[in-house]
Structures are given as C-alpha cells and as structure tokens.
Amino acid sequence: MDAKQRLEAPPAIDRKEGMRLLARATLAELAAAWEAIADKPDVAPVRGPETGLVMVRGRIGGGGDPFNLGEATVSRATVRLSTGEVGHGQMLGTDKERARYAAVFDALFQNAAHRPAIEALHRLIAARLEAEDRQKAEETAATRVDFFTMVRGED
C-alpha cells in the first residue's frame, strides 16, 4: 500500500454493505443506537417481523454448479417511516427484534437527516467485526505448522 492509498478515506458504506453490517449487529448495539436517535420518526410495520427459512446452496467441488446444502433460519422485517422511507431488515436466526431494528435503520439510512447517525452505527459494527475476525485469524495463524528439515544443507 503506497502513501496515497493510505491517505484516502475508507470507501463509503453503501446500502448493501450497511445491510450486511446490520445483519451482524447485536441487539444491544441496535437498541443503543435507537435510543440515541433524536426526533425519532414513527415506524409502521409493512411486513413481519417474521421468521422463516432460506435454503443455503453450495457449489459442487467448491466452484461448480449449485446444489442445495440445507436450510437456515432467517428473520426479516419491512417497515415504513412516517417520513416515507421503506426499510428492509433480514438476518440469520430467529431474533425478530433485531430484524425489525435492522429494517428501521435501513430506512433511516435513506433519510439525509438521519444518515450520519446510521453511518456511525455501521462503522461501530464494522470495527467490532474487523476486530473479531482479526482475533480469529491470529489465533488460527498461531496453529500454522512450520516444517523444518532435520539436516539443513546451508549450515
């Protein structure tokens, strides 16, 4: 990475990436972010929150044609704000409350006045996930085998 790249701001989080992050948010993170929002709009349910199944697919040989691996529980919600925006929330698991929050924040993300607060929430979740993934990768790296030969030619 050269100096110019380092100076550039991280790429803006778009709606799709925001939804990815909201799907991984904890209930505590979501509830706290909702508490912190000033002049909350009214939220009307459009669909759900409801729990159902998604058939998870894999690929034959890892990269070939798809096959159906098995199902996973998914909770989803769609809401409409009194300001007009419609938001969708969906995530693995059976926690409908988290799905409803995710839908609310997806809707708020589309509202210019609320967007900065939601972007801050996105960054908060992203930072936690990055730290968790980093920790896992470091723990795995410590179990890497360093092979050595019993007789080395160069000594």
Partner 1 sequence: MYVAVKGGEAAIANAHRLLADRRRGDRSLPAITIEQVVEQLGLAVDRVMAEASLYDRSLAALAVRQARGDMIEAIFILRAYRTTLPRFGYSEPVDTAGMLVERRVSATYKDLPGGQLLGPTFDYTHRLLDPSLIGDEPVAAPAVKEPGEQVMRVSDILDGEGLIEGDGQMPDGHVAGDLTREPMEFPMPRDLRLQALARGDEGFLLALAYSTQRGYGRTHPFVGEVRIGEVEVELDLPELGFAVSLGTIRVTECQMVNQFKGSAKQPPQFTRGYGLVFGQSERKAMSMSLVDRALRTDEFSEDIVAPAQDQEFVISHADNVQATGFVEHLKLPHYVDFQAELDLVRRMRHDSLRQSMAR
- For residues 1 and 146, what is the distance between their CA atoms, to the nearest angstrom? 27
Binding partner 1 by CB under 8 A: which of 11, 38, 42, 62?
62
Residue 100 in the binding site for partner 1 (CB under 8 A) = no
User: β-strand 66-81 against 86-92: which pairing, if any?
Assistant: antiparallel
What minimum distance in Å lies between the beta carbon of 37 and partner 1?
23
Structure token digits, residue 1:
């990475």
Reported as half-sphere exposure (CB side, CA atoms, 13 A), residue 147 has a value of 1
Binding partner 1 by CB under 8 A: which of 27, 45, 58, 131?
58
- For residues 44 and 130, what is the distance between their CA atoms, to the nearest angstrom? 33
Binding partner 1 by CB under 8 A: which of 147, 148, 153, 155?
147
- Considering beta carbons, is residue 35 or 146 the nearer one to partner 1? 146
Name which of residues 13 to 32 contact partner 1 (CB under 8 A).
15-16, 19-20, 23-24
Binding partner 1 by CB under 8 A: which of 10, 11, 64, 153?
64
Coil, strand or helix: which one is 30?
helix
Residue 148 in the binding site for partner 1 (CB under 8 A) = no
For the chain, the C-alpha Rg in angstroms (whole number) is 21
Binding partner 1 by CB under 8 A: which of 68, 112, 116, 153?
68
Measured at the CA of 59, the angle between CA 53 and CA 64, to 5 degrees, comes to: 150
Residue 61 in the binding site for partner 1 (CB under 8 A) = yes
- For residues 99 and 107, what is the distance between their CA atoms, to the nearest angstrom? 12
Binding site for partner 1 (CB under 8 A): 15-16, 19-20, 23-24, 50-74, 76, 88, 90-94, 133, 135-145, 147
